[in-house]
């Protein structure tokens, strides 16, 4: 049972307890996943009142150090040793073979010069450098509706909202539809950018079990009552990081639970374009309860930062207000270039080229990781690699970095006190060439065969 040895009594008492907890986690006294005393027990151990103990735990949870689940207790966060950010803002990534972040295969994109020239001949470019409707220009929303048709979603342009990328769309969802302290159900392994975002907004993520078909309905139903969930976040195409594809039957089950429990469903289809066959969307099942996000950055022209969001009222107007309050509007010239690419067929050709390149990169993974277990499919941008028993995800990520290879261990994706599986995500699109990818994959294969202490001895 945890008992802090040193508390700085010069600070507010609840902050002093939170600081002591953080110190013991950082120094290894407390381990990821370790259970902590209940609020009342902690108060008795330290000699403080229960409300102070509760505030201390709340502060520690705000810092991402611990997570609490009603009926199960409070635990040290399993991801406490990792930063959920996917980019190295210190600029050190150039020293690695970068198999961490998932990038859009830039080399397969058509030069934009011809596209912009064609757009400029229409004579209305000056209209795109003025303030405009936060929802987006009507013609650009038409392009968004056309893009949605590729995924079996037939909507009016009036139900399209244009955001500056998926992360901005998620930000607008959370600041407009949720309040600090409210809870959202997510897969117990989820998109790391979501974790970083909700931490800033003080929204609680509740981990939900999943299997090979997606989020577990029974576990979700239980969490709805136990945690008073207000919504759920799902990845309807390729799940990040595991590459699981949610079945149609599972989507129907989850849709029923969402209706029964009045949940807001946020459906992220960032990697939907990589799927070989069209999938039923959650939005198609419950359009009045679902916000569907189609991020284009992985498909084409990431730097333009455009995503299309399908949202009917009562969600649409709050989303539009959130866009206005964050960036006023998605840059209209960017939206115009993206829309021209969609309407004139450029986008379709770019995607086809990227999927062909992704398939060749997946073949490289099959070649160099032969004999190891990983999950993915021919068009995928990343794979989920299971580790041998002698490795854990955190150690493997650290040793790989020492060997000059950047990968993302499972801890980057775990939610709350979920124990991370022995697995890492390997990006197949994070490097410019297949030759560099091959070098990185060979390095990963070599490391997999080594014992951690053996590999350390030769570094």
Domain that holds residue 385: 93-102+348-457
Mean pLDDT of 101-105: 95
Q: How confident is the model at residue 408, as a pLDDT? A: 96
Q: Cα–Cα distances in Å, from 443 out to 97, 268, 317, 456?
A: 10, 33, 50, 14
For 268-297, what is the mean pLDDT? 93
Confidence tier at 440 by pLDDT (50, 70, 90): very high
Between CA 302 and CA 177 the distance in angstroms is 26
**pTM reported for the whole predicted model:** 0.86
- Predicted pLDDT at 457: 41
Average pLDDT, the chain: 90
User: Is the same domain home to 142 and 266?
Assistant: yes
Instruction: Give yes or no: residues 312 and 372 share one domain.
Output: no
CATH of the domain at 317: 3.40.640.10
For residues 425 and 447, membership in a common domain is answered with: yes
pLDDT at residue 71, as a whole number = 66
71-85, 121-135, 203-217, 315-329: segment of lowest average pLDDT? 71-85
pLDDT of residue 124: 78
Over the range 331-348, which residues count as b (16 or more CB within 10 Å of their CB) and which as e?
bbbbbbbbbbbbeeebbb
Angstrom distance (rounded) from CA 284 to CA 3: 52
Domain match, 193 and 249 both: yes
pLDDT digits (tens, 9 = 90+) for 368-413: 999 999 999 999 999 999 999 999 998 999 999 999 999 999 999 9
Do 335 and 387 lie in a common domain? no
59 and 139 within one domain = no
166 and 24 fall within a common domain: no
pLDDT at 6 over 90: no
> Residue 117: inside a domain, yes or no?
no
Question: 36 phi and psi, to 5 degrees?
Answer: -105, 160
In-domain check, residue 116? no
Q: What's the CATH code of the domain at 362?
A: 3.90.1150.10
Task: Identify whether residues 308 and 358 lie together within a single domain.
Answer: no
Last residue of a domain, one of 322, 344, 366: 344
Residue 7 lies in a domain: no
In the chain, the number of structural domains is 3
* Residues 175 and 208 occupy one common structural domain: yes
Shared domain for 291 and 381, answered yes or no, is no
pLDDT digit string, tens, across residues 334-366: 999 999 999 999 999 999 999 999 999 999 999
Domain co-membership, 424 together with 436: yes
In a domain, 114, yes or no: no
Same domain, 138 and 98: no
């Amino acid at each position: 049972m945890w008992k802090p040895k040193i508390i700085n009594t010069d600070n507010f008492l609840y902050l002093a307890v939170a600081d002591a907890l953080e110190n013991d986690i950082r120094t290894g006294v407390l381990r990821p996943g370790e259970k902590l005393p209940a609020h009342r027990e902690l108060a008795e151990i330290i000699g403080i009142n229960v409300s102070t103990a509760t505030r201390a735990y709340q502060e520690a949870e705000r810092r991402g150090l611990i997570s609490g689940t009603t009926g199960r207790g409070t635990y040290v966060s399993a991801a406490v040793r990792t930063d959920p950010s996917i980019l190295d803002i210190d600029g050190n990534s150039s020293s690695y073979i970068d198999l961490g972040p998932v990038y859009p295969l830039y080399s397969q994109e058509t030069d934009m010069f011809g596209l912009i020239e064609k757009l400029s001949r229409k004579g209305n470019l000056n209209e795109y450098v003025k303030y405009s409707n936060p929802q987006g220009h009507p013609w650009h929303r038409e392009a968004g509706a056309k893009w949605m048709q590729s995924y079996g979603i037939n909507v009016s342009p009036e139900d399209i909202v244009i955001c500056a990328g998926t992360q901005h769309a998620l930000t607008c969802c959370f600041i407009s539809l949720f309040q600090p302290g409210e809870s959202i159900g997510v897969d117990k392994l989820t998109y790391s950018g979501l974790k970083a975002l909700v931490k800033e907004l003080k929204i609680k993520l509740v981990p939900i079990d999943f299997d090979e078909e997606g989020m577990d309905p029974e576990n979700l139903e239980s969490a709805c009552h136990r945690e008073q969930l207000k919504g759920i976040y799902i990845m309807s195409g390729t799940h990040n990081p595991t590459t699981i594809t949610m079945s149609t039957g599972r989507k129907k089950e989850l849709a029923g639970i969402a209706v029964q429990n009045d949940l807001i469903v946020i459906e992220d289809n960032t990697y939907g374009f990589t799927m070989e066959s069209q999938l039923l969307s959650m939005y198609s099942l419950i359009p009045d309860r679902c916000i569907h996000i189609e991020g284009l950055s992985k498909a084409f022209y990431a730097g333009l930062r455009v995503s299309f969001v399908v949202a009917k009222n009562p969600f649409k107007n709050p989303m539009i207000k959130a866009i206005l309050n964050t960036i006023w509007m998605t840059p209209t010239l960017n939206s115009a270039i993206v829309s021209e690419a969609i309407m004139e067929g450029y986008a379709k050709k770019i995607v086809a080229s990227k999927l062909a390149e992704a398939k060749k990169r997946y073949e490289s993974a099959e070649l160099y990781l032969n004999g190891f277990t990983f999950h993915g499919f021919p068009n995928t941008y990343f794979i989920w690699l299971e580790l041998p028993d002698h490795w854990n995800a955190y150690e493997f990520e650290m040793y790989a970095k020492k060997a000059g290879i950047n990968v993302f261990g499972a801890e980057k994706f775990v939610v709350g006190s979920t124990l991370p599986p022995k697995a890492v995500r390997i990006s197949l699109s994070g490097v410019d060439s297949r030759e560099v990818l091959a070098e990185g994959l060979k390095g990963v294969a070599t490391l997999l065969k080594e014992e951690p202490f053996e590999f350390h001895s030769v570094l």
